[in-house]
Each structure stands twice: as C-alpha cells, then as structure tokens.
C-alpha cells in the first residue's frame, strides 16, 4: 500500500516529538523501561544542583502518564496534523527537526480552536509545544512569544501562530533565592583594581577585570550616543576576543554555529586561547542566545542545548545587598534587564555613584559553565566563554 506524502510527513512529525513522550513509551513496555525513565528524569532534575536561580527541575516529568494517554495523544495529533496543508506540514517538520535553528514561517491556525486531551482543553499553540518541546507544560502563562512571530504582541487575532519554535518557556526565579549564588552588591561599584588583568579597548582606555569585579566597558560609550542600545563583548576567561559588537537592531542572535544565522557569530572570532576546556565550551555554544529589546526590558532566550548563567542588578530585589547568578535552561527566556529598575538603582544623589560609571547597566552571561560559591569558579573571569552586555543609558 502506497503512503501519501502527507502521511509520511505526519509520521515523521510524530517520531520527532519531545523525549518525554518516548520515555513514557519505554515505561509502558515494562519495569525496566519505567526504571530507565525515572532515572533519566532524576538525572535532569539533579543537573540544576538541587537549587538555582530559575530551576525547571520538573521539566520532562509531566510527560504522558500511561500508554493509554500516549495512544490518545497520538490519535489527537494525527487527526490535527492531517487537517494541515502539505506546505504547512513541511514547514512545521523543518522547524521541529532543526530545533528552531532554521528560519521557519508562522503556522497560522484558528485562534479559538481547542483540543481536548484527557480532562483538559488546550489551545493549539500549547498542544504543539507540549508535543514537540515541553511535555510537562500545563498553562499558557508558562510560555512567551518570540519577537520573530507574527502573533507577537497581538491581543486577539483571528489566527494565531502554532509554530512551537516561535515560543520560549518563561524562566521563573526562585523565591526565596538560593543562598549559594549570592554576591555582594559591592561588586556593582567599580573600584580601582591594581591587581587586575588589563585589557586594551578601541578607545585606548584600559578595562579593569579583577576577580569579583565587573569590567568597566561602558566607558566606551560616547556621551549622547544613541546609535546603539547596547554593546556586546565576548570573553574567554580573562581575555576579550574580537571587537566590541554594537547593536542597533531590536533583536540580536549571538551564536557559534547557527543555520541561516545572522548576528554576532562567535565561531568566526580567532581565539588564541589553547585551553581544551575553552575550545570544548566554544563548540557547545551552538545556537547560542537571542538578545531582544522589548517594551518592558531586555530579554534573553537560550537557544542552545546547554544552560547559560546570568547576573544582572535588575533581576534581584532592589533592597537586597546581594546579587544572584541565575541558571537559564535551554528553551527558556528571562527578562535579564529592566531599564526602570536600573535607573532607580542608579541613585543620582549618591556622590560615589555619580562620580563613577554605574555598572548596573551591565549584564554578564556565561555559556555552559557557571560561577559562584557552588562552583569551582568563583568569578566569571574564570569561565571559559562569557559575554558582557553593556546597555546605553543615554
């Protein structure tokens, strides 16, 4: 019996679903499969160290509760996919198989359409996200649309995008925060650093990058310069690699290897660092991150296959004397910078802060390897690969 192209596409899409569903199939096959699924879930949960700035330790555990639920889901998804046009199936398959690395158009479907799975009704975007990305997803409030999506910022469109890679999962910060990642707020204040490692900049000035202190890169900004909203510097341990990258567009992809990538390509930078760890981490950056300036602040979306770590003055309580390093898992987004909070923290009447550049307009991001009191690396300058994002506060 010959299969139509549509049937082949539907079968390929079902085989490309998120691992959560496949683990449940193994669990249904017998006790050994169940033990394997539990072990894998526990391994994922322990990967966050038992506590972190944004811990989705439950991710992957929601899955499909039984073989019966798996069969129900399969019937539902096959029926839904078979209603799509062949071109839509091809575009959805391209998005799923490339894990969001390829530029794919929106999959526009009726906004009011709901599908029942078990005792719950799910909108189509959420259902496809559960199938192809996050089986434990439970509510629409847990996801955020990316700015590349046609449905972004639209309140009640007749059609809504159901491309699962046009959404990210929201990173929830722990409350109260874990104690192991706390940093003194004193590190926000730039100080003289005679024991630091100097790095020359394009302006001829020297940055101070000492253990535990932020580099003073924001001095590169010319007063009144509004041509860019941020500048990005890429570092390998204590050495900055390549030129500063000035950002004018609302969204920037920062990556090592990204199909159809357009933005700040770290893979094209010539690194003189021969450390095996640095080279290994560089190769794991992959799709990297997406940095987006939105109405409510600057968001970071982790597009890679490994966690990233972020430290920002505006992520924490303004009254706190501590800063946290937040862990962001693959597929998650976090509002890394809030302009209003940054201006309120600037304290213009404070003589010490007026006389020196305010590093509250700087965000630090490390790839794969974190830093802090629960790691062997106490300071970000010991991380193999990391970024410094300096925001224009003019």
Identify the bridge partners of residue 209 per DSSP, sorted by sequence position. Answer: 197
| The predicted structure's pLDDT at residue 217 | 42
Mean pLDDT of the chain: 76
- Work out the pLDDT band at 116, boundaries 50, 70, 90: confident
* CB proximity list for 3: less than 8 A, separation 6 or greater: 11
Burial class (CB in 10 A: 0-12, 13-18, 19+), 69: middle
Locate 19 and state its tokens.
């691992």
Q: Is the model more confident about 54 or about 166?
A: 166
Cβ atoms of 369 and 176 closer than 8 Å: no
pLDDT for 319 equals 61
CB 333 within 8 Å of CB 144: yes
Binned at pLDDT 50, 70 and 90, residue 321 comes out as low
Q: Helix or strand or coil: residue 213?
A: coil
Give the pLDDT band of residue 318 (cuts 50, 70, 90): low
Q: Which residue has the higher pLDDT, 211 or 75?
A: 75
Do 67 and 30 touch, CB atoms closer than 8 A? no
pLDDT of residue 129 exceeding 50, the answer is yes
* Contact between residue 151 and residue 157 where contact means Cβ atoms under 8 Å apart: yes
How many C-beta atoms surround the C-beta of residue 339 within 10 A?
Answer: 16
What was the pLDDT predicted at 205?
Answer: 31
* Alpha-helical runs (H) found in 61-216: 67-81, 86-97, 124-132
Residue 165 main-chain phi, psi, to 5 deg: -95, 15
| 7 vs 317, higher pLDDT | 7
pLDDT digits (tens, 9 = 90+) for 31-81: 333 333 334 443 344 344 434 445 444 444 445 556 677 888 889 999 999
User: DSSP code of 375?
Assistant: S
Is residue 257 helix, strand or coil?
Answer: coil
Per mean pLDDT, which of 181-190, 268-277, 329-338 is the most reliable? Answer: 329-338
Residue 92 to residue 310: CA distance in whole angstroms: 31
Which comes out higher in pLDDT, residue 184 or 11?
11
Mean pLDDT check: name the lowest of 111-115, 172-176, 239-243: 172-176
Q: Are 107 and 116 in contact (CB under 8 A)?
A: no
Please check whether residue 235 is in contact with residue 254, taking contact to mean a CB–CB distance below 8 angstroms.
no
Percent of the chain exceeding pLDDT 90 equals: 46
What pLDDT was estimated at residue 272?
87
As a whole number of angstroms, the distance between CA 48 and CA 41 comes to: 12
pLDDT at residue 336 is higher than 50 = yes
């Amino acid at each position: 019996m010959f299969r139509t192209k549509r049937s082949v596409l539907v079968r390929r899409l079902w085989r490309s679903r998120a691992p959560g569903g496949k683990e449940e199939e193994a669990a249904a096959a017998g006790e050994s499969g169940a033990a394997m699924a539990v072990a894998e879930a526990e391994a994922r949960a322990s990967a966050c160290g038992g506590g972190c700035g944004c811990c989705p330790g439950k991710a992957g555990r929601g899955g499909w509760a039984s073989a019966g639920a798996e069969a129900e889901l399969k019937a539902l998804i096959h029926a839904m996919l078979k209603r799509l046009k062949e071109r839509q199936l091809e575009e959805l398959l391209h998005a799923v198989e490339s894990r969001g690395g390829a530029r794919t158009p929106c999959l526009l479907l009726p906004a009011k359409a709901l599908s029942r799975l078990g005792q719950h009704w799910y909108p189509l975007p959420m259902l496809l996200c559960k199938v192809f990305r996050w089986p434990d997803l439970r509510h629409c409030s847990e996801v955020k649309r990316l700015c590349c999506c046609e449905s972004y910022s639209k309140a009640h469109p007749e059609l809504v995008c159901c491309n699962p890679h046009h959404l990210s999962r929201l990173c929830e910060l722990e409350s109260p925060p874990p104690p192991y990642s706390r940093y003194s707020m004193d590190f926000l204040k730039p100080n003289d650093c005679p024991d630091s490692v100097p790095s020359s900049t394009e302006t001829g000035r020297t940055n101070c990058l000492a253990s535990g202190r932020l580099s003073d890169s924001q001095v590169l900004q010319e007063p009144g310069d509004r041509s860019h909203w941020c500048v990005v510097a890429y570092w390998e341990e204590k050495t900055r690699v390549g030129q500063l990258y000035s950002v004018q567009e609302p969204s920037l992809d920062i990556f090592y290897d990204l199909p159809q990538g357009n933005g700040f390509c770290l893979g094209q930078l010539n690194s003189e660092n021969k450390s095996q760890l640095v080279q290994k981490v560089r190769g794991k950056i992959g799709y990297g991150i997406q940095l987006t300036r939105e109405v409510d602040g600057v968001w970071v979306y982790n597009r890679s296959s490994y966690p990233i770590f972020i430290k920002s003055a505006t992520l924490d309580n303004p009254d706190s004397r501590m800063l946290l390093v937040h862990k962001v898992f693959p597929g998650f987004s976090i509002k890394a910078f809030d302009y209003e909070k940054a201006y309120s923290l600037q304290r213009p009447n404070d003589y010490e802060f007026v006389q020196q550049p305010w590093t509250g307009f700087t965000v630090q991001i490390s790839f794969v390897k974190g830093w802090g009191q629960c790691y062997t690396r106490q300071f970000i300058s010991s991380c193999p690969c990391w970024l410094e994002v300096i925001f224009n506060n003019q």
